[in-house]
Structure 1
Amino acid sequence: MRPTRRQKTGRIAAVTAGALALSIGATACGGDTSGPAGKELSGQNLTVAAVWTGVEAENFKKVLKAFTDETGADVKLVASGDNVSTFVGSKIEGKQAPEVVMVPQVGVVQQFAKKGWLVPLSEKVEMATARNFANVWKDYGTVGDKFYGLYFKAANKSTVWYRPDAFDQAGVKPPKSYEDMLKAARTIGDSGTSPFAVAGEDGWTLTDWFENIYLSQAGPANYDKLADHTMPWTDDTVVKALTTLGELFADKDLLYKGSAGALRTDFPTSVEQVFGPEPKAAMVYEGDFVGGIAKDQFDRKLGEDAKFFPFPGVGGGDAPVVSGGDAAVVLKEGKNQKAAMRLMEFLASPEAAEVWAGAGGYISPNKSLDLSAYGDDTTREIAKSLVDAGDSVRFDMSDQAPAAFGGTKGAGQWKLLQDFLRDPSDPKATAAKLEAAAAKAFGNG
């Protein structure tokens, strides 16, 4: 079974048992369920399913409430659980399909489209997407020649988080290149602090390390070929990236408790090792969500005692921007197609993104969103980095792959990169094993 998406995005808040059902709009105010009079969708009902629970669900509820205020539609949000495919399949079979589903992986959007579950998005949604998003986001929502998935929420997975006091003690500054990052790490180690906390117990973090290095070294075009397996994992560019990653993994002085300790460290613990009450390391690489954990779990002040620098360029390459995200899709079996498509138009607007940006815990790929909508400078900087990258942004490669290769504990990339962390001495052999696993998972080996 594929581990939960909440593990992949670092969400560690408790999940409310059972399905979450949130009534939004006129009913939330205790008024007439037909919706505000005179609105274009007054009296119409709409159901949206998403993986989000807790604070994330409450913040998305605010977005849907804004849609209700604008159109009069009565919207209900239901929790899909982390296995969105199983949820949607069961709802379609039971003839209770929601109109709109938020889908967390490119591969799942493609799966739904190939099953015939989705409705292509309207011309109005396409036009709004072309106006407000870099082309790459539409590409990731397109299957064949039809546009199905609108990316409403994104993650910037090219951020290295650090404690300024550890940097100050060692007399180092945030590095501008990968080579300088390792040099700074060694200086930090000499000052008495372990440089990196690495969550090797969670194999997905290791795929993220590889993807950032590979995107910078090999470039977006090769990244795309490797992602869809039109390039074999035995290619020289892969061996080169593994060799670069192996330099970090092989140096026991760079990792807190060495590779053996990293293999016993899960993602939440890696953040605690840097930002917890008894810090052990100076830096932890992962996405923008690290900042939320440092702030919410360990009372760190973003921009003061919890800072980040962009994952630096490798070997003279551009600084990479690897992303993840949630795409809104419209189900063919949903009863109210008109209201569903109108919601998609709204979600493509900067006004919708502004609602959640103001609430926090959110980054939008919408380039028309005024960055002042974000509540703090750190989030603003992370969002700007994502938007400024334009069409050079690339979606998490493992999330584009079949789950057997890119998202299964104890198998595929996760296991093979854990094995490489344990012994990084033979990048060519690891590349060959990765190719064998990829060929099997993609069905061409």
Structure 2
Amino acid sequence: MSIKKSRAAAASVAAVSLALTLGACMPSDDDDTPTTGATGTATGEVKEGCEDYASYGDLSGKEVSVYTSIVEVEQVDQEESYDKFEECTGATINYEGSREFEAQLLVRVQSGNAPDIAYLPQPGLLKTIVEQYPDNIVPASPETEANVDEFFAESWKEYGTVGDTFYAAPLGANMKSFVWYSPSKFTEAGYEVPETWADMIEISDQIVADGGTPWCAGIESGDATGWPATDWIEDVVLRSAGPDVYDQWVSHEIPFNDPAIVEALGVAGDILKNPDYVNGGIGDVKSIASTAWTDAGLPILDGECWMHRAANFYQNNWPEGTTVAEDGDVFAFYLPAIEGDEKPVLGGGEFVAAFDDRPEVAAFQAFLASDTWANEKARVTEGGGWVTANNGVDIENLATEFDQLASSVLGDPASVIRFDASDLMPGEVGTGTFWSEMVNWIALDKSDKEVLDAIEASWPAS
């Protein structure tokens, strides 16, 4: 989920100058024709502040439609990050964010009404589109590919590639292996941030003994209801079974109901389906299924629950005035490993796919893969909650202490990073039965075996 959805280090922060060759290039100085360029000045003269945009050419009067699952608070920053591109090129970016993105995008593509650009939160969805609608999506432009080669780790390019063709450039990155808590309330109660999984369970038991409810959770998300629970399972698989088994699970080299996955679901259930542990400030276990993921962590502020597992982007959901800092109202700690010295990290992100090869579409796709956009997005995200795997971003442009933490985890040599499994699986599973069966697991108390057997049965034959 984009809202999900990191594997390469945003903490690697060399500022790199980008030279794109896309679009109408400025004529040479010996061309005396006084035409107007993308900067709104006579050709050869670059408007101050538009130097990084001059190579996109004059896109005046051109429009690019963008469809994405990034909505509400995050949408404001997204749209603002395009302002300079629009000012300097003359293009208009028409942004549409939707909570029904996953369900509606395929409908639009199938009906011939695809957007120019879509931000795909699942590489599995990209694969589905390429395989089912190959004539509706276009390969990434050479300029986009050059930016990805320069600013991203190879693994990111692989996630945007189907077969031998590169389609979709990475956009933002999500760090999912975090647990939100209140530093002040932990201090008052005498609890310490856990360094191991066993420590975390011990603290949970102590909170229960002290009369509290340690965990709160919510998995309601419109048409995407269930995805937060899949993140839980994926994080546990990485920790209980290890990255090699995780990779085999994602690629279906082992079945979805393999004993290793059964064990992982049980470990997650020891928290999420434990009536003593959940759902603090909200209700019983079943209330998790009907609680909006955006609201699920808020009881921490009132001391009604103590811990909430959620990604870095949950930072944007705390009410205005909440201090997100190590000594503030809320902060997050790394979801500990179950054993060993490695740091398993679950990540996600969005990928920019194009459905039209018009020059202005190619230009905008290339821009979004550049260090120019990454730094602009970091600057305008003043409230924090956004990180990227683009190594051209200046870490000083990242807004908050927590964003710095996310970057440090990404850059830790001990981190073993894997992309969100449901985002990599075939759409029938990753955004289908995996989501829906997690709802059944919580709301209907469906057994671990029945849930995993049902998901395995849905895996496409080829």
Under a length normalisation based on structure 2, what TM-score does the superposition of the two structures give?
0.77
Superposition deviation, residue 86 in structure 1: 3.8
Aligned identity (percent) is: 24
Superposition deviation, residue 339 in structure 1: 3.1
- Aligned match for 1:400, one of 424, 428, 447: 424
CA deviations on 1:178-230 (whole Å, 9 max, x unpaired) are 11111122223333321111226653222111110111232223222212322
Superposition deviation, residue 430 in structure 1: 2.1
- Aligned match for 1:349, one of 361, 370, 379: 370
- Letter aligned with residue 181 of structure 1: M
Change (3 A) 1:411 1:43: closer
C-alpha separation in 1, matches of 2:367 and 2:102: 23
C-alpha separation in 2, matches of 1:60 and 1:125: 19
- Aligned match for 1:77, one of 80, 94, 107: 94
- Aligned to 1:50, the other structure's residue is in SS state strand
Change (3 A) 1:410 1:223: closer
Alignment of 1:288 with 2:307, yes or no, is: no
C-alpha separation in 1, matches of 2:121 and 2:345: 18
- Letter aligned with residue 101 of structure 1: A
C-alpha separation in 1, matches of 2:361 and 2:4: 28
C-alpha separation in 2, matches of 1:54 and 1:151: 21
1:301 equivalent in structure 2: 323
1:164 equivalent in structure 2: 183
C-alpha separation in 1, matches of 2:137 and 2:315: 35
Superposition deviation, residue 128 in structure 1: 2.5
Superposition deviation, residue 149 in structure 1: 1.0
Change (3 A) 1:411 1:158: closer
- Aligned match for 1:367, one of 391, 397, 409: 391
Alignment of 1:233 with 2:256, yes or no, is: yes
* Contact 1:408-1:414 within 8 A present in 2 as well: no
After the TM superposition, which residues 174-185 of structure 1 pair with which residues of structure 2 at under 5 Å, given as runs? 174-185=193-204
* Contact 2:219-2:228 within 8 A present in 1 as well: yes
C-alpha separation in 2, matches of 1:307 and 1:163: 6
Kindly report the root-mean-square deviation, in angstroms, between the aligned alpha carbons of the 2 structures: 3.2
- Letter aligned with residue 361 of structure 2: A
CA deviations on 1:85-112 (whole Å, 9 max, x unpaired) are 7447547855x65433222222221122
Change (3 A) 1:410 1:364: closer
Change (3 A) 1:250 1:367: same
1:22 equivalent in structure 2: none
Deviates more, 1:234-243 or 1:261-270: 261-270
Alignment of 1:272 with 2:290, yes or no, is: no
1:434 equivalent in structure 2: 452
- Aligned to 1:442, the other structure's residue is in SS state coil
Alignment of 1:42 with 2:58, yes or no, is: yes
- Aligned to 2:338, the other structure's residue is in SS state coil
Change (3 A) 1:410 1:85: closer
1:339 equivalent in structure 2: 360
C-alpha separation in 2, matches of 1:99 and 1:204: 26
- Aligned match for 1:329, one of 345, 353, 361: 353
C-alpha separation in 2, matches of 1:389 and 1:48: 39
Change (3 A) 1:164 1:55: closer
- Aligned to 2:342, the other structure's residue is in SS state coil
CA deviations on 1:371-398 (whole Å, 9 max, x unpaired) are 1111111122123323547994322222
Alignment of 1:64 with 2:82, yes or no, is: yes
C-alpha separation in 2, matches of 1:415 and 1:84: 17
1:26 equivalent in structure 2: none
- Letter aligned with residue 169 of structure 1: E
2:270 equivalent in structure 1: 247
* Contact 1:104-1:325 within 8 A present in 2 as well: yes
- Letter aligned with residue 130 of structure 2: A
C-alpha separation in 1, matches of 2:289 and 2:87: 49
- Aligned match for 2:174, one of 127, 144, 155: 155
Structure 1: any 5+ residue segments left out of the alignment? Answer: 10-31, 424-428
Under a length normalisation based on structure 1, what TM-score does the superposition of the two structures give?
0.79
2:210 equivalent in structure 1: 191
C-alpha separation in 2, matches of 1:382 and 1:56: 17
- Letter aligned with residue 277 of structure 2: L
Change (3 A) 1:173 1:390: closer
Structure with bigger RCO (C-alpha 8 Å, 6+ apart): 2
- Aligned match for 2:231, one of 208, 212, 223: 208
Structure 2: any 5+ residue segments left out of the alignment? Answer: 6-35, 44-53
After the TM superposition, which residues 81-120 of structure 1 pair with which residues of structure 2 at under 5 Å, given as runs? 81=98, 82-83=100-101, 86-87=104-105, 90=108, 93=111, 98-114=115-131, 115-116=133-134, 117-120=136-139
The structure with more helix, counted as a fraction of residues:
1
Deviates more, 1:253-262 or 1:407-416: 407-416
CA deviations on 1:214-261 (whole Å, 9 max, x unpaired) are 112322232222123221123232122123223324643322355345
* Contact 1:164-1:307 within 8 A present in 2 as well: yes
C-alpha separation in 1, matches of 2:143 and 2:458: 40
- Residues matched between the structures, number: 403
